[in-house]
Amino acid sequence: MKYKNLKLYISIFIFCACVCGGCRSNKDGLGGDGINPSVLDGDIGLNERFEDGIRVATSEFNPQSVMFAYDSYRVNPADKYKVAQVAAFMKQNRNVRLVVEGHCDERGSREYNVSLGEHRALAIRAALVSDDGIASKRIQTRTYGEEKPVDGRHNESAWRQNRRGEFALYR
């Protein structure tokens, strides 16, 4: 009888570890994957939202989305020029503020994708602050998780397009 209960407890433990552990492959721990927490200043978008301002017209500046690998929030080196273009525009237009929006594909739980989307937005924000010298108070983040796909199909091509960070610029 003792061993029967032991097997049950081990089974429950393994089940909980699998379910509660989630599907994220945490390569280098929370806060890793390229984000330097010291550049975030603790002011991560808790002040008034910028969306009350006037949105910068796409005819004036239309930034490209930063694309992400599956299950990652590391800014791909091939996409750093997109972040640099936004930084250059912000340096030329000191009255412009930015909301970085993080998006995910549909795979993963809603909670996981909301968290991953926020980490993606924070990674872009950190690059703008640390690499490009943009004042952190000019940048806020927002996560949409899987809620706003650009492509609603359910295949790899669509998922690749939906794993992105977008820029919303305001005056």
User: Global pTM?
Assistant: 0.75
CB 132 within 8 A of CB 160: no
Weakest-pLDDT range from 32-36, 70-74, 99-103, 106-110:
32-36
Percent of the chain with pLDDT over 70: 70
Question: Pick from 109, 108, 118: which is nearest to 144 by CA?
Answer: 118
Break the chain into its structural domains and give their ranges.
32-170
Spatial CB neighbours of 102, under 8 Å, sequence gap ≥ 6: 73, 116, 117, 118, 119, 120, 121, 122, 124, 141, 142, 143, 144, 145, 165
Ramachandran category for residue 83: left, alpha or beta (phi over 0 → left; psi -120 to 50 → alpha):
alpha
32-170: CATH topology is 60s Ribosomal Protein L30; Chain: A; (3.30.1330)
Between CA 52 and CA 61 the distance in angstroms is 19
Token pair 């960070």 in the structure block, residue: 165
Decide: helix, strand or coil at residue 62. coil
Residue-wise pLDDT for 53-95, tens only, equals: 899 999 999 999 999 999 999 999 999 999 999 999 999 999 9
Between CA 130 and CA 42 the distance in angstroms is 14
Between CA 11 and CA 76 the distance in angstroms is 40
